[in-house]
Amino acid sequence: MLHCYFFTPDGKLKAANDVAGVRQAFQDGALYWVDIEDPTESEEEILWEIFNFHHLAIEDCIATHQYPKIDDYGEYIYLIVHAIEYDKTNGAFRTSELDVFLTERFVLTFHYQPMRSTTQRRHRLNEGAIAPDRRSAFLLHQILDNLIHNYGPALEDFEKRISNIEELIIKKPDPRVLDRIFKFKKETLNLKRILGPQREVINRLGRGEFRLIPAELRAYYRDIFDEISRYAEITESHRDVIMMALDAYLSATSNRLNEIMRALTLISTIFLPLTFITGLFGMNFQHIPGAGSWWGFYLTIGASVLIGAGLYLFFKFKKWV
């Protein structure tokens, strides 16, 4: 789906939703923003037929699962960033790749999945909310600001799941809890692989490396950098919490195993003299004291009960049970 915004000669913002409208606005030098969502083949072709972007940038743009990066092609900047959402159903982060071409006059965004940041910006433009600063670098700032700001709710949902895991470990640790811990650990590592290079992309935009970012706008990008740095620190703290949860699980299971082994050891200790008594009087000899008397059986049972009870009371006195 194609969304195109351009300015008329009298300064009004108009929209077009077809390739012809994009071509005409580009030729008139009136383009403001082109947002290509889940493109068709004809919509992909405008990248080289109308805008004549570098073939390497187009290859990266059309390919999926690219890591965040930024390249300077002189007349335009090409960057890849990622939006994230947390899927509460399967407990996993869902990332969406956003490819961006920034020129001196307009911004082109390209993505295969619907994205909250671009949708929010389109709704604002459709409502007539146009920023006083109409430069393409400021529009890019608005898009990236929305994209990074949406990290907050996703990380909050993830943090709630981690807190629930800690409660489960305390109440009843079992293998299912361990599976969830390893899943959360994997999600945190995947998120770090995105946040690390994406943080560097935002940092480069704000430190004066590219001429297409005016000096007076770099402070806005540094503000985005501060926000994504905070989210990176939160992700690192989540990783620490998950590792502590793993240690707590292993400690809890180890303590539980120790309790079981102690109980089995005490039972074995109690039954050891009983086994000796029954084995002694159960030997196949003719002359065993008390073997032929009526009180032999009761004496053996009584001695076994007294010895077992005595050992139990001794363990109780020592606070071993």
Distance, in Å, from the CA atom of 135 to the CA atom of 205, rounded to the nearest integer, reads 15
| 61 shares its domain with 97 | yes
Q: Give pLDDT tens digits for 74-122.
A: 999 999 999 988 877 777 788 899 999 999 999 999 999 888 888 888 8
| 81 shares its domain with 21 | yes
Whole-number pLDDT of residue 29: 85
| 222 shares its domain with 244 | yes
| 242 shares its domain with 214 | yes
| 99 shares its domain with 194 | yes
Amino acid at 71: D
| 282 shares its domain with 142 | no
The answer to whether the Cα torsion of 29, 48, 112, 146 is positive or negative is: negative
Residue 90 domain boundaries: 2-253
Is the residue at 273 inside a domain? yes
| 174 shares its domain with 138 | yes
Whole-number pLDDT of residue 12: 83
Distance, in Å, from the CA atom of 240 to the CA atom of 260, rounded to the nearest integer, reads 30
Distance, in Å, from the CA atom of 35 to the CA atom of 12, rounded to the nearest integer, reads 19
| 51 shares its domain with 85 | yes
Whole-number pLDDT of residue 104: 92
| 249 shares its domain with 271 | no
The residue ranges of the chain whose pLDDT is under 70 are 277, 279-297, 315, 318, 320-321
What CATH number is given to the structural domain containing 29? Answer: 3.30.460.20
| 176 shares its domain with 42 | yes
Distance, in Å, from the CA atom of 259 to the CA atom of 127, rounded to the nearest integer, reads 66
| 249 shares its domain with 279 | no
Whole-number pLDDT of residue 205: 93
Distance, in Å, from the CA atom of 160 to the CA atom of 190, rounded to the nearest integer, reads 18
Is the residue at 258 inside a domain? no
The count of structural domains within the chain is 2
- Phi first, then psi: give them for residue 305, nearest 5 degrees: -65, -45
Whole-number pLDDT of residue 56: 94
Q: How many Cα atoms sit within 13 Å of 128 on the Cβ side?
A: 1
| 208 shares its domain with 305 | no
What is the DSSP secondary structure assignment for residue 85, as one 8-state letter?
Answer: E
Is the residue at 313 inside a domain? yes
In whole angstroms, what separates CA 212 from the centre of its chain?
33
Query: Is this structure's pTM higher than 0.85?
Result: no
Domain boundary among 210, 235, 253: 253
Is the residue at 239 inside a domain? yes
